[in-house]
Structure 1
Amino acid sequence: MRIQIVGWGRMGAALHASLAAAGAGDVLLPLAGRGADGSGADLVLLAVPDAAIADAARLIAPGPLVGHLSGMTTLAALAPHEALSVHPLLSVTGPDTAFAGAHAAVAGTSERALATARSLAETLGLVPFTVADEDRAAYHAAASISANALVAIEWVAERLAATAGVPRAALAPLARAALDNWAARGAAAALTGPIARGDEATVSRQRDALAARLPDELGLFDALTQTTRALAAHPAEPTEESR
């Protein structure tokens, strides 16, 4: 199956490089920019911004399967083509992105299209799963919270730490360990710190420090504190030993 990737951005470059490295170089057509019509391809993958998917799809000549790489966009944007989507659930930064080991949401308008989406994901080393159209917004919001919101929170943490002369590098192992524990044990079991211990005096002093040094972030601190209290009251997931 000859594959044409349309889009010069980070996703297009990463996808092209990874497929070539995975042994698909013989069927990869040259990377194309927006406006390509997919001539000579059996599968056209639109690595373009979400808002440009429908316009790019309309330029593809009838015949090939047409896919996009969006997590939010449904397959309706690719009509009337036989369509598929593969959304790698990881941060894509360019041609050095490693897809292997991550997951990917896949979809298809036919059994052939869905099978192609799964095969493409597996070629990249991704673990495929399906998401219904009505669930895409919730799925994409979860992904954004997991990655983008996490980075935003760490940005607040590093700025507050800097007021005490503490470098970002000092926080990184703490953040990594918390993320690893959450992945392995679930949120309730991974939670540590003053709220988990019921130490409200420390939480109050933390709030006072933030109010004095980063007052614009006080609303975020209060919202996170409220959610953390709810988590502290939530039962931990059962482990193999407790079953």
Structure 2
Amino acid sequence: MTPPPPSPPLLDGPLLVVGDGRMGRALVAALEAAGLGVAGPAGRGESGTDAAIVLLAVPDAEIAAAARAIAPGRTVGHLSGSLDLSVLHPHEAFSIHPLMTVTGAGTSFAGVTAALSATSPAAYAVASALTAALGMTGVEVLDTDRAAYHAAASIAANFLVTLEGMAEQLAATAGVEREALVPLVRAAVDNWAERGAAASLTGPISRGDAATIARQRQAVAERLPDRLALFDALIEATRELAAVQRTGIETTP
């Protein structure tokens, strides 16, 4: 077994993870695998007196209280995507938000993008070193951009699941199981990842097939009437995307 690489000098001091949930356990396991000296996951209320760096892997609503319990003189970080650094006052602070879903202690962070911010260059260096040790790529997201960044993440992950739930419900009314839609969904996501939204759009709206769109809308109105407003909003947004697609095609040499 190949030993882990030595930790960066910046991370040689004691490191503590607070929060014994999925994220906390995954972080401890991944940091240990990276060769870092890490304690935890500790329960909320831990003071961190034996640590130089403290990572708070607790729910957003608990971060401020957990930060207040940390002894002065530590560099303190949180893992929230939506909160700024004011919740960690008065500590020298940073945040690391991995753009991923954490399912347990065996989670790998390698290859993931992480949003970083910090209250000082020294704290940013700690965040960058931790990110690199976990195999992630860091990108700075300012506090003023935090809400927009986190909304984008929610749209990309949570809202996508909501839409697939709607598709699953409608397909079920026609006797079609969820599994039948999976290859279609995977292909759409793969195309979007490779080419972007406008270049990946297919279907009746992209083709300008008004008759098909009208039949689809009628089916939604009859079978999922509580989702008709959402369907209409998606039609409008997709028409706007199709217009971008057509413009791109027309101007391509």
TM-score in same-fold range (> 0.5): yes
Unaligned runs of 5+ in 2: 1-12
Does 89-98 or 146-155 show the bigger shift?
Answer: 89-98
**How many angstroms apart in 1 are the aligned matches of 2:219 and 2:93?**
53
On the 8 A contact 1:189/1:237 being kept in 2, the answer is no
**Cα–Cα, structure 1 residues 54 and 175, in superposed 2: closer, same or farther, change >3 Å?**
same
**Cα–Cα, structure 1 residues 90 and 237, in superposed 2: closer, same or farther, change >3 Å?**
farther
Cα offset for 1:237? 9.6
Unaligned runs of 5+ in 1: none
Residue identity opposite 2:22 in structure 1:
R
**Cα–Cα, structure 1 residues 126 and 238, in superposed 2: closer, same or farther, change >3 Å?**
farther
TM-score by length of 1: 0.94
**How many angstroms apart in 1 are the aligned matches of 2:88 and 2:247?**
41
**How many angstroms apart in 2 are the aligned matches of 1:171 and 1:17?**
35
**How many angstroms apart in 1 are the aligned matches of 2:60 and 2:203?**
40
Matched with 2:6 is none
Describe how 1:2-17 pairs up with structure 2 within 5 A: 2-17=14-29
Partner SS, residue 76 of structure 2: strand
In the alignment, structure 1 residue 167 sits paired with structure 2 residue 165: no
Matched with 1:18 is 30
Does 160-169 or 74-83 show the bigger shift?
Answer: 160-169
Matched with 1:140 is 150
On the 8 A contact 1:189/1:236 being kept in 2, the answer is no
Matched with 2:223 is 213
Partner SS, residue 20 of structure 2: coil
Cα offset for 1:69? 0.2
Partner SS, residue 58 of structure 2: coil
Cα offset for 1:162? 1.3
Matched with 2:4 is none
Post-superposition Cα deviations, 1:71-104, rounded to whole Å, max 9, x if no partner, equal: 1111111111111110001112222322111100
Across the aligned residues of Structure 1 and Structure 2, the Cα RMSD in angstroms comes to 1.6
Query: Between Structure 1 and Structure 2, how many residues are aligned?
Result: 239
Post-superposition Cα deviations, 1:144-183, rounded to whole Å, max 9, x if no partner, equal: 0010000110011111111112111111111111111111
**How many angstroms apart in 2 are the aligned matches of 1:18 and 1:109?**
25
**Cα–Cα, structure 1 residues 29 and 236, in superposed 2: closer, same or farther, change >3 Å?**
farther
On the 8 A contact 2:84/2:143 being kept in 1, the answer is yes
Cα offset for 1:236? 7.1
TM-score by length of 2: 0.90
Cα offset for 1:8? 1.2
**Cα–Cα, structure 1 residues 70 and 32, in superposed 2: closer, same or farther, change >3 Å?**
same
Partner SS, residue 244 of structure 2: coil
Residue identity opposite 1:180 in structure 2:
D
Matched with 2:76 is 66
On the 8 A contact 1:89/1:103 being kept in 2, the answer is yes
